[in-house]
Amino acid sequence: MYRAPILVGISGGSGSGKSRFARRIQSAFPEESTVIEQDWYYHDLSGISPEQAKKVNFDHPSAVEHMLLHRHLNCLNQGIEVEVPGYSYINYSRLLSRNILKPSPLIILEGLFVLCWPEIRNLMHVKLYIDVDSGTRLQRRLKRDTENRGYTADQIRASWNRQTLPMHQKHVEPSSQFADLIWNSEEDTTFETTFLADLRRRLAKNAKNPK
């Protein structure tokens, strides 16, 4: 009998530690879990000039092709493998990487807006919002984007003040009202252990009651 997966959604502001925690869960359940990054689904902007692409607000939910993400989640939920996109932040374009994701007992979706879209939010069995202060998040963003995405510190700070922080306050932070759990990772150091133990119980129960 088919065993439908447990879907976990992890949201929070830029630099809150969403990706780190998603990978931490995956490392705790290496044979049972699949991670999906919302950022893979940014719209392909290769058809417009770089100057135009630079003006796109990547901190707004409309920058993501969320219905494609929704379709892929539905496929995985039904036991169907999917070919997910990737994204180049340098060229603002989709990557032809043929990244195939197979269904697994635990699906982990992480991203800024995963609690913003009702279609996706309603698929989740566990909805987590990671709450970290903006100063800490900016320092993490500076480190990540200078090392991995080719941006300068001045570009990152300008984008943070012009787009990231206002969009966080307008879209991301309000979505925390839909979370089952809100975690201040700077203050609560015991949460991770408790969360993983709960997931372990959920997986064991799900394995005994396949659909």
pLDDT of residue 187: 87
Strand partners, 181: 128
Q: Residue 167: which pLDDT band, with cuts at 50, 70 and 90?
A: very high
Rounded CA gap, 94 and 75, in Å? 21
- Here the tokens at position 92 are 């603002």
Q: Residue 1: which pLDDT band, with cuts at 50, 70 and 90?
A: low
Radius of gyration of the chain (CA): 17
Q: Does domain 6-208 have CATH number 3.10.20.30?
A: no
Q: Which residue ranges make up each domain of the chain?
A: 6-208
Could you tell me the pTM of the whole model? 0.92
